Amino acid sequence: MRKTWFATVLLLGLALAHHGWSSYDATREFQTTGTITEVTFEFPHATIWIEVPPTGLMMQRKWYVVLAPPSRMEARGLPSGSLKVGARVTVVGYPHRTEREEMRAERIIVDGKMVELR
């Protein structure tokens, strides 16, 4: 009984921790290119921080990019070692509705190779 209760609480916590995609604006797809400054390749989603050079009146800035789950990325040919600090990447995705400079990636281009993440 105690193990069942613990397992239920654990699974409920994991379910609540996983966010939905409604917090990203799927009507505003955009693309940005930058240099990876941080990589996290772990459950539930891999993430990267990219530094984007200034454009027009915009100063240099960093974007937090939510990628796919690691298992999906590996299945699609993007293993953990392929995302390296210092690598230049292009990301296509949707901006977060309330968090500035956060996006959900639909696809990523690394070393000239485009990988569909969804």
Whole-model pTM: value is 0.80
Instruction: Give CA angle at 89 (85, 94), nearest 5°.
Output: 115
Q: Give the per-residue pLDDT at 59.
A: 74
pLDDT in tens, 26-80: 999 999 999 999 999 999 999 999 999 887 766 779 999 999 999 999 999 999 8
Q: Give the per-residue pLDDT at 55.
A: 79
Q: How confident is the model at residue 3 (pLDDT cuts 50, 70, 90)?
A: low
Report residue 50 CA to chain centroid gap.
Answer: 11
Q: Which helix (H) or strand (E) holds 45?
A: none
Domain ranges within the chain, ordered by starting residue: 21-116
Q: Give 21-116's CATH code, choosing from 3.30.450.20, 1.20.1250.20, 3.60.20.30, 2.40.50.1010.
A: 2.40.50.1010
Give the pairing type, strands 102-110 and 30-40: unpaired
Q: Give the per-residue pLDDT at 102.
A: 95
Q: What is the mean pLDDT of residues 85-114?
A: 96
Q: Going along 1-118, which residue ranges are E strands?
A: 30-40, 47-52, 61-66, 88-95, 102-110, 113-116
